[in-house]
């Protein structure tokens, strides 16, 4: 689970990203899911554009892709969504540390 500070940091990184994929009338297909999963494993952060021709609501698209790729939805803004998943082997993005609630 991302903290507010971590989410804000990821949003700032995603601001300059180009959309890596567009989702159209075919929606979230297994091939698209696999391509997004491969991309997110390599880059940790991805921005996706959902076209008007996509019949699935963007929130549902984000939940589906997040669940299928084991990533977190960072942001949904307009017709764009941002997903994040830290690399298991060699992290590329260093998130701000979460504050310890017991301190």
The 10 Å Cβ neighbour count of residue 82 is 24
Domain that includes residue 18, residue range: 4-84
For residues 81-93, average pLDDT = 88
Q: Is residue 94 part of a domain?
A: no
User: pLDDT band at 102, cuts 50/70/90?
Assistant: low
Write down the mean pLDDT value for the chain: 92
User: pLDDT band at 101, cuts 50/70/90?
Assistant: low
User: pLDDT band at 1, cuts 50/70/90?
Assistant: confident
- Directed axis angle between helix 58-69 and helix 30-43, to 10°? 70
Q: Is residue 100 part of a domain?
A: no
Q: What is the pLDDT of residue 103?
A: 45
| Number of domains the chain contains | 1
Q: What is the pLDDT of residue 100?
A: 64
Q: Is residue 45 part of a domain?
A: yes
């Amino acid at each position: 689970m991302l903290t507010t500070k971590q989410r804000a940091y990821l949003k700032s990184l995603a601001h300059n990203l180009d959309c890596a994929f567009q989702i159209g009338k075919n929606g979230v297909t297994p091939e698209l899911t696999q391509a997004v999963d491969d991309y997110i494993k390599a880059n940790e952060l991805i921005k996706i554009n959902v076209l008007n021709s996509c019949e699935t609501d963007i929130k549902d698209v984000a939940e589906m892709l997040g669940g299928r790729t084991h990533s977190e939805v960072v942001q949904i803004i307009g017709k764009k969504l941002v997903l994040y998943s830290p690399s298991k082997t060699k992290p590329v993005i260093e998130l701000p540390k979460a504050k310890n609630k017991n301190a």
